[in-house]
Amino acid sequence: MKIHEYQAKEILKKYAVPVQDGIAIKSMNEFDSAIQQLQARGINQFVVKSQIHAGGRGKGKIYNPANRDELILEGGVKFTTDVQKAKDYASKMLGNLLVTHQTGAEGKIVQTLFITEGLDYKKELYLGILLDRAASKNVIMASTEGGVEIEKVAEETPEKIIKEWVDPAIGFQGFQARKLAFGLGLEGNAFKNFVNFILKLYKAYEDTDASLLEINPLVITNDDRILALDAKMNFDDNALFRHKDIADYRDLNEEAPLEIEASKYNLNYIKLDGNVGCMVNGAGLAMATMDIIKLAGGEPANFLDVGGGANKETVANGFKIILSDPNVKAILINIFGGIVRCDRVAQGVIDAVKEIEVNVPVVVRLDGTNAIEAKEMLENSGLNFSVASTLKEAAEKVTNVLAKV
238 marked ligand binding residue: no
The string over 143-175, giving b where at least 16 C-beta atoms fall within 10 Å of a residue's C-beta and e elsewhere, is bbbbebebeebeeeeeeebbebebeeeeebeee
The DSSP bridge partners found for residue 113 are: 25, 50
58 marked ligand binding residue: yes
Q: Indicate if 376 belongs to the active site.
A: no
The SS3 call for residue 217 is strand
119 marked ligand binding residue: yes
Residue 5, sorted as left (phi over 0), alpha (psi -120 to 50) or beta, turns out to be alpha
75 marked ligand binding residue: no
340 marked ligand binding residue: yes
Residues 6+ apart with CB under 8 A from 194: 177, 180, 181, 184, 186, 226
Counting Cα atoms < 13 Å in the Cβ hemisphere of 211 gives 11
370 marked ligand binding residue: no
d(CA 87, CA 92): 9
Closest-CA residue to 178 (of 196, 203, 156, 154)? 196
Number of residues that this document lists for the chain: 405
255 marked ligand binding residue: no
d(CA 342, CA 269): 22
338 marked ligand binding residue: yes
User: What pairing do the DSSP bridges indicate for beta strands 232-235 and 137-143?
Assistant: unpaired
Which of 164, 214, 249, 396 is the catalytic position?
Answer: 214
Q: Indicate if 126 belongs to the active site.
A: yes
Which of 6, 63, 126, 205 is the catalytic position?
Answer: 126
d(CA 290, CA 285): 9
49 marked ligand binding residue: yes
Residue 242, sorted as left (phi over 0), alpha (psi -120 to 50) or beta, turns out to be alpha
339 marked ligand binding residue: yes
CA distances (Å), 330 to each of 293, 300, 385, 392, 402, in order?
A: 12, 10, 11, 16, 7
57 marked ligand binding residue: yes
268 marked ligand binding residue: no
Q: How many CB atoms lie within 10 A of CB 66?
A: 8
Binding-site residue numbers for Mg(2+) are 216, 230
Residue set of the binding site for substrate: 281, 338-340
For the annotated catalytic residues, the residue numbers are: 126, 214
Q: Return binding residues.
A: 49, 56-58, 119, 124, 216, 230, 281, 338-340
| Known binding-site residue numbers for ATP | 49, 56-58, 119, 124
